[in-house]
């Protein structure tokens, strides 16, 4: 392979490496991958809310059990007091009045507990409806998430394969280029953010676009000579 061909390979290597860098950058920004991550976060937020809601329902259930127990106790106390009061055992008017007062206070308490139980039941019913609505919503979102995931995996896989092909081509070029020339390119490339080889077409520098004097063509074609653009310092490669 003559020098002109070697240099052209170097230029191809430079362009490939730019493609690879661009591809790697794109891979970080694949829309479906981004959408998957966002949606996954949304689903886990929803799952957290569902857990909270279920805890609320459970707390309501406990409150309800407590209320029912209190009600039972009060009912029992009312029954026993009524028995005494109307059973003919109590003779003293004063005692009867006291008992009637106590009974009335217990009946008040009974009514309050019943109201409270009703309120708790209503609240629980609302919480349960909300909880099952959230569950349905989660089901839908999970289904959507799986679709987005499949799409993201597909696109990620395609990008990986494309990148693997580019890297394979890059390795093959690197094997074909003379090691000293490759080393020179790598040193220059590191200093110029990967833009150090200029493909000359129609007498213009491919990087800075300056018009090169006609003598450049002959110099580029001279074996053993590396020619650089006087304007941007790129290594010139004949492209036509």
- Site of interaction with Zn ion (CB under 5 A): 205, 207-208, 229, 231-232
- Least Å from the CB of residue 27 to Zn ion: 31
- Least Å from the CB of residue 170 to Zn ion: 24
Q: How far apart are CA 140 and CA 21, in angstroms?
A: 38
- Least Å from the CB of residue 201 to Zn ion: 12
- Least Å from the CB of residue 227 to Zn ion: 11
Nearer to Zn ion, 50 or 197 (CB): 197
Q: Do 10 and 177 contact (CB within 8 A), yes or no?
A: yes
- Three-state SS for the chain is CCHHHHHHHHHHHHHHHHHHHHHHHHHCCCHHHHHHHHHHHHHHHHHHHHHHHHHHHHHHHHHHHHHHHHHHHHHHHHHHHHHHHHCCCCCCHHHHHHHHHHHHHHHHHHHHHHHHHHHHHHHHHHHHHHHHHHHHHHHHHHHHHHHHHHHHHHHHHHHHHHHHHHHHHHHHHHHHCCHHHHHHHHHHHHHCCCCCEEEEECCECCCCCCECCCHHHHHHHCCCCCCECCCCCCEEEECC
Nearer to Zn ion, 192 or 231 (CB): 231
Nearer to Zn ion, 6 or 231 (CB): 231
Nearer to Zn ion, 73 or 231 (CB): 231
Nearer to Zn ion, 186 or 233 (CB): 233
- Least Å from the CB of residue 204 to Zn ion: 9
Nearer to Zn ion, 39 or 234 (CB): 234
- Least Å from the CB of residue 225 to Zn ion: 17
């Amino acid at each position: 392979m003559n020098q002109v061909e070697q240099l052209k390979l170097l230029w191809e290597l430079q362009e490939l490496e730019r493609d690879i860098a661009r591809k790697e950058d794109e891979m970080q920004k694949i829309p479906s991958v981004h959408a998957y991550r966002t949606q996954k976060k949304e689903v886990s937020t929803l799952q957290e809310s569902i857990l909270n809601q279920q805890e609320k329902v459970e707390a309501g259930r406990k409150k309800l059990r407590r209320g029912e127990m209190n009600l039972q106790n009060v009912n029992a106390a009312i029954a026993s007091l009524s028995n005494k009061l109307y059973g003919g055992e109590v003779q003293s008017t004063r005692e009867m009045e006291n008992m009637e007062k106590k009974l009335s206070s217990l009946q008040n308490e009974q009514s309050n507990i019943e109201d409270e139980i009703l309120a708790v039941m209503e609240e629980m019913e609302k919480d349960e409806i909300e909880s099952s609505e959230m569950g349905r919503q989660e089901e839908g979102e999970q289904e959507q998430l799986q679709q987005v995931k499949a799409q993201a995996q597909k696109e990620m896989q395609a990008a990986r394969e494309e990148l693997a092909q580019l890297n394979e081509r890059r390795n093959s070029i690197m094997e074909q280029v003379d090691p000293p020339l490759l080393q020179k390119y790598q040193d220059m490339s590191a200093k110029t953010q990967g833009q150090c080889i200029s493909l000359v077409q129609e007498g213009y520098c491919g990087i800075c676009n300056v018009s090169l004097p006609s003598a450049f063509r002959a110099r580029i074609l001279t074996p053993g000579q590396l020619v650089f653009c006087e304007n941007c310092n790129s290594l010139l490669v004949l492209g036509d």
